[in-house]
Amino acid sequence: MTTPPLEPPPAGPRRLRLLSYNVRSLRDDRRALARVIRACAPDVVCIQESPRYWRPEGQAAWLARSTGTAVLAGGGRTAAGPLLLGRPGAVRLLGVYDRLLPKTRGLHARGFATALLRLPDSAPFSLTSCHLSLDADERYGQFELLLDQLRITEHGIVAGDFNEHPDGPGWRLLASRLQDGHPTAPWGGEFTSVPERPYQRIDAVFATPGTTVLGCGVPHGLPGVTDSDLRAATDHLPVLAVLELPAGRGPSG
**Total count of domains within the chain:** 1
Is the pLDDT assigned to residue 15 strictly greater than 80?
yes
Q: Is residue 252 domain-resident?
A: no
What are the pLDDT digits (tens) for 141-171? 999 999 999 999 999 999 999 999 999 999 9
What are the pLDDT digits (tens) for 206-236? 999 999 999 999 999 899 999 999 999 999 9
Q: Is residue 249 domain-resident?
A: no
Is the pLDDT assigned to residue 1 strictly greater than 50?
no
Question: What local confidence, expressed as pLDDT, does residue 232 receive?
Answer: 95
Provide the CA 233 distance to its chain's centre, in angstroms.
16
Question: What local confidence, expressed as pLDDT, does residue 240 receive?
Answer: 96
Instruction: Of 126, 135, 72, 66, give the one whose Cα is nearest residue 101.
Output: 135
Instruction: Of 234, 227, 224, 228, give the one whose Cα is nearest residue 40.
Output: 224
What are the pLDDT digits (tens) for 55-89? 778 899 999 999 999 999 998 778 999 999 999 99
Determine phi and psi for 241, rounding to 5 degrees: -135, 145
Q: Is residue 76 domain-resident?
A: yes
Rounded CA gap, 252 and 75, in Å?
A: 27
Is the pLDDT assigned to residue 93 strictly greater than 50?
yes
Q: Are 125 and 156 in contact (CB under 8 A)?
A: yes
Question: What local confidence, expressed as pLDDT, does residue 76 receive?
Answer: 72
Task: Read off the amino acid at residue 210.
Answer: G
Is the pLDDT assigned to residue 31 strictly greater than 60?
yes
Instruction: Of 48, 43, 91, 89, give the one whose Cα is nearest residue 67.
Output: 43
Query: What band does 2 get if pLDDT is binned at 50, 70 and 90?
Result: very low
Q: Is residue 23 domain-resident?
A: yes
Rounded CA gap, 60 and 74, in Å?
A: 9
Where helices occur in the chain by DSSP H, the ranges are: 30-40, 56-67, 136-149, 169-177, 181-184, 227-233
Provide the CA 231 distance to its chain's centre, in angstroms.
19
Q: Is residue 8 domain-resident?
A: no
Query: What band does 4 get if pLDDT is binned at 50, 70 and 90?
Result: very low
What CATH number does the domain containing 186 carry? 3.60.10.10
Q: Are 76 and 102 in contact (CB under 8 A)?
A: no
Rounded CA gap, 123 and 125, in Å?
A: 6
Is the pLDDT assigned to residue 252 strictly greater than 90?
no
Question: What local confidence, expressed as pLDDT, does residue 52 receive?
Answer: 78
What are the pLDDT digits (tens) for 170-211? 999 999 999 999 999 999 999 998 767 778 999 999 999 999
Q: Is residue 84 domain-resident?
A: yes
Q: Is residue 119 domain-resident?
A: yes
Q: Is residue 220 domain-resident?
A: yes
Question: What local confidence, expressed as pLDDT, does residue 153 receive?
Answer: 97
What are the pLDDT digits (tens) for 105-143? 889 899 999 999 999 999 999 999 999 999 999 999 999
Q: Are 248 and 122 in contact (CB under 8 A)?
A: yes
The pairs formed by 193-200 with CB atoms below 8 angstroms and a separation of 24 or more are: 193/235, 193/236, 193/237, 194/230, 194/231, 194/235, 194/236, 194/237, 195/231, 200/165
Owning domain of residue 221: 15-244
